[in-house]
Amino acid sequence: MAMSGASPGQASSQSSNDPSAETEILNVVVQRDGQKVSTKWGLHPNLKDELKPEEWKELTEIMGKVTTIVGTRFSEVLNQTEERTAGTA
């Protein structure tokens, strides 16, 4: 299976007037399109704006590793599942 690398993006925030509502600040998404698995991550725009350039660089490197690990594991599990179901009538 092919896997694309990390691509930083922006996560959507949860809209609610309830002050106790949770806010999504970090998001990792794994998507499958046929045999291709892609992983992406996003950070809440307000938090991104508050990061210093060196913090943004460090976070980007770390999240690149995270998305690679998560995407690879997703591909492995997907392959195992497809192998188990292959050949059944």
How many independent structural domains does the chain possess?
1
Segment 1-44, tens digit of pLDDT: 333 444 444 444 445 566 668 888 999 898 888 778 889 999 99
- The reply to whether 66 falls in a domain is yes
The answer to whether residue 3 sits within a structural domain is: no
Q: How many distinct helices (H) and strands (E) make up the chain?
A: 2, 4
Domain assignment present for residue 83? The answer is yes
Q: Which two tokens stand for residue 56?
A: 């943004």
Contact 81, 4 (CB under 8 A): no
Q: pTM above 0.75?
A: no
Angstrom distance (rounded) from CA 79 to CA 89: 19
User: Whose CA is closest to 67, among 34, 31, 33?
Assistant: 31
pLDDT one-digit tens code per residue, 51-73: 999 999 999 999 999 999 988 89
Has residue 4 been placed in a domain? no
